[in-house]
């Protein structure tokens, strides 16, 4: 998250910056000899939270009760060291010690209200931070075989992977989204034979691909080159493999475009084998000292690094295993300068976690620093029908058409990747507050409608009419507090690879906005005689708060790949 110093310069005071301030004060007090504690006793982020009663201030911390005894002091005495130092920070109106040692913090109303101006002036940059600055990351996700359409099993990682990428970039990281095309091996020949069978009106071979999409590909290839039907299968095989692969990959790319998911690199597995990268990887792993030969096969001793068994790289028939391709691919990422490699794998890939981590260690990397593997649990959609094109799956294209990109992406983003989930289509299509994506998008659309009404009534957003101290209604304090937390929420969501933190926070902002909208008027009410009232300072100031909320909701939805509608 942004450092306290960075945010303090902006005048942004929130629980995260207060926590940073407390950590700074504690370390300074230890160095000055005012507190007898080892430096490592200070929490990285001392806890700051809302007091049970707002009469006790805006925020509170029990850090004195946590550390007082260890420092040989009673908690109140410990708190008395911290309170005046905390009081000295800009934006804090009052610091009181309560009970056995609670520190209650009241913010300066003008400093809190000034956040509205800060957000509006920051615009799309508000929420961006530098906690991942300097990180160079390769993020691989989806990576479906180019032998069929994307389906429900790929949908979750498409939404989450893209959202994680957006969050990391918003936190200062340099991220490359990469799709690994599994275009090497027997599956492409099976795909070609399935297309060939459909081209001649036959059933697909055993183990082939039966979907209607195969028939569509066969018709396209035949229309492009009618003479292919007159060739033998052996004569047509190369053309079939190449063109069927191209057409299916184009279908995958088009579907991802429709789902607002972008990849910077489409990496071919075949290129690894054809370019000698697999052979080179084997020699490099051998040089690291973790390979051996047994029963005519060439092995990688992954058990040295926690894998449950060693892995074959080259079989006794001298053919490389799939894992040999994984090794070459990992080294390719390393050679391309990616210090961090994040793999997003499906629920059926749990067994890959230890072997890929061990592979990284065998390649000379730190398996706790240079590689990260996330597993996505299965999702289901109540009432979804199997695809007519694919035959035995629920296609992503059909889900997009049925539920819409926004509803799908938001609903998938609001749950942790490691929790199974079921999507309720009736809920996602409902225009009610029970539908989370509608609830958040409606708050944005409502704020835009309020701005249009304010424009029509002359309540414009002008610097000279803004008074931060005027934003002192309880609902305004709550809304401002939620908005202030947004940058830290983004930073933590990126750090923990958890877009659901942003989604859930947007819902809390929407709730605070709806409550404020019901309690506080932006445009003054007409007089009883129907004459138009003159807007007051509070009205102009509320216009700033309204537009600040618009901006944060739009920024947050954008990080999830979800639109922020002007009207609903």
The whole-number pLDDT of residue 10 equals 42
The whole-number pLDDT of residue 350 equals 83
Classify domain 436-559 at the CATH topology level.
Isoleucyl-tRNA Synthetase; Domain 1 (1.10.730)
Quote the mean pLDDT of the chain. Answer: 92
Output the six-digit token pair for 369: 């620093």
- Per-domain residue ranges for the chain? 4-107, 141-274+377-429, 436-559
Q: Where are the alpha helices (DSSP H) in 68-209?
A: 75-87, 109-113, 115-122, 152-170, 186-199
Q: Is 475 exposed, middle or buried (0-12, 13-18, 19+ CB in 10 A)?
A: middle
Given a contact cutoff of 8 angstroms between Cβ atoms, the answer to whether 311 and 292 are in contact is no
CA dihedral 286, 290, 295, 297 (to 10 degrees): -50
Output the six-digit token pair for 270: 């075949």
Q: Whole-prediction pTM value?
A: 0.88
CA dihedral 453, 458, 461, 463 (to 10 degrees): -170
Output the six-digit token pair for 491: 């930073």
The whole-number pLDDT of residue 422 equals 87
Same fold, 4-107 and 436-559: no
Pairing mode, if any, of strands 265-268 and 174-181?
parallel
Short-list 215, 220, 140, 128, CA closest to 182: 140
Q: Which helix (H) or strand (E) holds 427?
A: helix 425-428
CA dihedral 451, 453, 459, 463 (to 10 degrees): 10
Short-list 35, 98, 33, CA closest to 61: 98
The whole-number pLDDT of residue 411 equals 94
The whole-number pLDDT of residue 20 equals 87
Given a contact cutoff of 8 angstroms between Cβ atoms, the answer to whether 374 and 497 are in contact is yes
CATH code linked to domain 4-107: 3.30.1360.70
pLDDT in single tens digits along all 568 residues of the chain:
333 344 444 456 778 888 989 999 999 999 999 999 999 999 988 999 988 877 788 889 999 999 999 999 999 999 999 999 999 887 888 999 999 999 999 988 777 899 999 999 999 999 999 999 999 999 999 999 999 999 888 899 999 999 999 999 999 999 999 999 999 989 999 999 999 999 999 999 999 998 899 999 999 999 999 999 999 999 999 999 999 999 999 999 999 999 999 999 999 999 999 999 999 999 999 999 999 999 999 999 999 999 999 999 999 999 999 999 999 999 999 999 999 999 999 888 888 999 999 999 999 999 999 999 999 887 888 777 655 566 667 889 999 999 999 999 999 999 998 888 888 989 999 999 999 999 999 999 999 999 999 999 999 998 888 999 999 999 998 999 899 999 989 999 999 999 999 999 999 999 999 999 999 999 998 888 878 889 999 999 999 999 999 999 999 999 999 999 999 9
Q: Could you report the per-residue pLDDT of 483-512, keeping only the tens digit for each?
A: 999 998 999 999 999 999 999 999 999 999
Short-list 192, 205, 264, CA closest to 231: 192
The whole-number pLDDT of residue 8 equals 44
Query: Which residues are CB-neighbours of 561 under 8 A, at least 6 positions away?
Result: 159, 162, 163, 166, 260, 261, 405, 409, 413
Query: Which residues are CB-neighbours of 177 under 8 A, at least 6 positions away?
Result: 139, 141, 161, 162, 165, 262, 263, 264, 265
The whole-number pLDDT of residue 322 equals 93
Q: Assign domain 141-274+377-429 to its CATH architecture.
A: 3-Layer(aba) Sandwich (3.40)
Given a contact cutoff of 8 angstroms between Cβ atoms, the answer to whether 2 and 491 are in contact is yes
């Amino acid at each position: 998250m942004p450092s306290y110093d960075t945010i303090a310069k902006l005048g942004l005071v929130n629980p995260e910056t207060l926590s940073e301030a407390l950590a700074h004060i504690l370390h300074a007090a230890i160095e000055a000899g005012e507190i007898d504690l080892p430096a490592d006793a200070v929490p990285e982020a001392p806890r700051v939270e809302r007091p049970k009663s707002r009469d006790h201030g805006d925020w509170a911390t029990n850090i004195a009760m946590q550390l007082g005894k260890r420092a040989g002091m009673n908690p109140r005495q410990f708190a008395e060291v911290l309170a005046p130092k905390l009081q000295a920070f800009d934006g804090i109106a009052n610091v009181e010690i309560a009970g056995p040692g609670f520190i209650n913090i009241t913010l300066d109303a003008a400093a809190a209200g000034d956040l509205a101006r800060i957000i509006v002036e920051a615009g799309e940059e508000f929420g961006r931070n530098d906690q991942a600055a300097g990180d160079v990351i390769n993020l691989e996700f989806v990576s479906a075989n180019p032998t069929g359409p994307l389906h429900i099993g790929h949908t979750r990682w498409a939404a989450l992977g893209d959202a994680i990428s957006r969050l990391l970039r918003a936190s200062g990281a340099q991220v490359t989204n990469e799709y690994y095309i599994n275009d090497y091996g027997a599956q492409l020949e099976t795909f070609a034979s399935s297309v060939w069978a459909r081209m001649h009106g036959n059933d697909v071979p055993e183990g082939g691909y039966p979907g209607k999409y195969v028939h569509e590909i066969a018709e396209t290839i035949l229309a492009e080159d009618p003479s292919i039907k007159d060739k033998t299968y052996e004569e047509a095989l190369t053309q079939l493999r190449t063109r069927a692969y191209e057409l299916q990959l184009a279908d995958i790319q088009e579907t991802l475009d429709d789902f607002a998911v972008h990849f910077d690199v489409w990496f071919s597995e075949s290129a690894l084998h054809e370019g000698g990268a697999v052979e080179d990887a084997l020699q490099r792993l051998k040089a690291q000292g973790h390979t051996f030969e047994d029963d005519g096969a060439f092995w990688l001793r992954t058990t040295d690094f926690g894998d449950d068994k060693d892995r074959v790289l080259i079989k006794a028939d001298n053919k490389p295993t799939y894992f040999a391709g994984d090794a070459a691919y990992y080294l390719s990422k390393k050679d391309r300068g990616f210090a961090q490699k994040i793999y997003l794998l499906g629920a059926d890939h749990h067994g890959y976690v230890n072997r890929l981590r061990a592979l990284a260690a065998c390649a000379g990397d730190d398996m706790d620093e240079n590689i990260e593997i996330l597993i996505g649990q299965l999702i289901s959609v109540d009432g979804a029908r199997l695809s007519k094109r694919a035959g035995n799956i629920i296609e992503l294209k059909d889900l997009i058409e049925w539920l819409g990109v926004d509803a799908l992406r938001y609903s998938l983003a609001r749950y942790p990747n490691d929790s199974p989930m079921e999507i309720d289509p009736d809920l996602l299509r409902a225009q009610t507050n029970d539908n989370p994506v509608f609830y958040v998008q409606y708050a944005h659309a409502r704020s835009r409608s309020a701005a249009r009404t304010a424009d029509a009534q002359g309540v414009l957003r002008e610097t000279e009419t803004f008074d931060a101290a005027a934003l002192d209604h309880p609902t305004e304090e709550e809304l401002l507090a939620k908005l202030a937390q947004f940058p830290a929420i983004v930073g933590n969501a990126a750090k923990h690879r958890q877009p659901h933190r942003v989604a859930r926070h947007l819902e809390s902002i929407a709730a605070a906005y709806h409550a404020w909208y019901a309690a506080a008027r932006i445009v003054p009410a007409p007089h009883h005689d129907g004459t138009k009232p003159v807007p007051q300072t509070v009205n102009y100031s509320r216009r700033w708060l309204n537009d600040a909320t618009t901006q944060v909701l739009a920024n947050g939805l954008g990080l999830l790949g979800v639109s922020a509608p002007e009207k609903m």
